[in-house]
Amino acid sequence: MVLDLVPLWTILLGLAVFYYVVFDGFDLGVGMLYGLVRGDAARATVMNSIAPVWDGNETWLIFGGLGLLTAFPLAFAIIIPAVYFPILMMLLALVFRGVAFEFRFKHPALRRLWDCAFCGGSLVATFAQGVVLGTFIQGFKVDGRQFAGTSFDWLAPFPLVIGLALIFGYALLGACWLILKTEGQLQDWARRAAGISLIAVLAAIAGVSIWTPLVHPDIAQRWFRWPNIAFLSPVPIVTALIALAEWEALRRRHELTPFLGAIALFLMSFVGIAISLWPMIVPYRYTLWQAASSASTQAFLLIGTLFLLPVILMYTAWSYWVFRGKARGIAGYH
Partner 1 sequence: MTLDPVLLSRLQWAWVIAWHILLPAFTVGLASYIAVLEGLYFLTGRESWFRISGFWTRIFAVSFGMGVVSGIIMPFQFGTNWSRFTDAAADVISPLLSYEGLMAFFLEASFLGVLLFGRRLVPTWAHFFAAVMVAFGTLLSSFWILATNSWMQTPQGYKIVDGRFEPVDWTAIIFNPSFPYRLLHNVTAFYITTAFVVMGVGAWLLRRERAADDARTMMRMALDLLILLVPLQMFLGDQHGLNTLEYQPAKLAAIEGRYETAQPAPLTLFGIPDDAGGTMRAAIEIPRLGSLVLTHSWDGAIKGLKEWPADQRPPVGPPFFAFRVMVGIACIMLLIVVAGQVLRLRGRLWGSVWFLRLCQLAAPLGFIAVIAGWITTEVGRQPWTVYGVLRTADSVSPSLTGANVAWSLAFYVVVYLIMFPTGIAFMAGLVRRGPQQPELESPVDQIESGRPHEPFETAARATLQV
Neighbours of 135 (CB within 10 A): 25
Residue 191 CA to residue 46 CA, distance in Å, equals: 14
Residue 207 CA to residue 187 CA, distance in Å, equals: 30
Under DSSP, the state recorded for 110 is: G
Residue 182's closest CA among 37, 332, 319?
Answer: 37
Rg, the chain, Cα only: 20
Residue 274 CA to residue 15 CA, distance in Å, equals: 12
Looking only at residues 162 through 201 of this chain, which bind partner 1 when binding is defined by CB under 8 A? 181
> 281 by DSSP, 3-state: which?
strand
Per-residue contact string for residues 252-291; x = within reach of partner 1 by CB under 8 A: ----------------------------------------
Minimum CB separation of residue 68 from partner 1 in Å reads 9
- Residue with smaller CB distance to partner 1, 189 or 223: 189
Q: Which residues pair with 280 in a beta bridge?
A: 287
95 part of the interface to partner 1, by CB under 8 A: yes
- Residue with smaller CB distance to partner 1, 45 or 257: 45
When binding is defined by CB under 8 A, the residue of 17, 21, 37, 82 that contacts partner 1 is: 82
DSSP state string for 115-155: HHHHHHHHHHHHHHHHHHHHHHHH---EETTEE-S-TTTT-
Check if the beta carbon of residue 160 is closer than 8 Å to that of residue 131.
yes
124 part of the interface to partner 1, by CB under 8 A: no
19 part of the interface to partner 1, by CB under 8 A: no
Neighbours of 12 (CB within 10 A): 19
- Residue with smaller CB distance to partner 1, 94 or 277: 94
92 part of the interface to partner 1, by CB under 8 A: yes
When binding is defined by CB under 8 A, the residue of 26, 34, 127, 147 that contacts partner 1 is: 147
Minimum CB separation of residue 137 from partner 1 in Å reads 19
- Residue with smaller CB distance to partner 1, 117 or 167: 117
Stretch that binds partner 1, among 7-15, 41-49, 216-224, 279-287 (CB under 8 A): 41-49
135 part of the interface to partner 1, by CB under 8 A: no
112 part of the interface to partner 1, by CB under 8 A: no
Instruction: Determine the size of the site formed for partner 1 (CB under 8 A).
Output: 75
Amino acid making up residue 123: L
Stretch that binds partner 1, among 143-151, 157-165, 216-224, 274-282 (CB under 8 A): 143-151
- Residue with smaller CB distance to partner 1, 35 or 81: 81
Residue 117 CA to residue 84 CA, distance in Å, equals: 22
Minimum CB separation of residue 164 from partner 1 in Å reads 22
- Residue with smaller CB distance to partner 1, 66 or 237: 66
- Residue with smaller CB distance to partner 1, 209 or 290: 290
- Residue with smaller CB distance to partner 1, 222 or 285: 285
51 part of the interface to partner 1, by CB under 8 A: yes
9 part of the interface to partner 1, by CB under 8 A: no
SS3 labels along 204-264: HHHHHHHHHHHHCHHHHHHHHCCCHHHHHCHHHHHHHHHHHHHHHHHHCCCCCHHHHHHHH
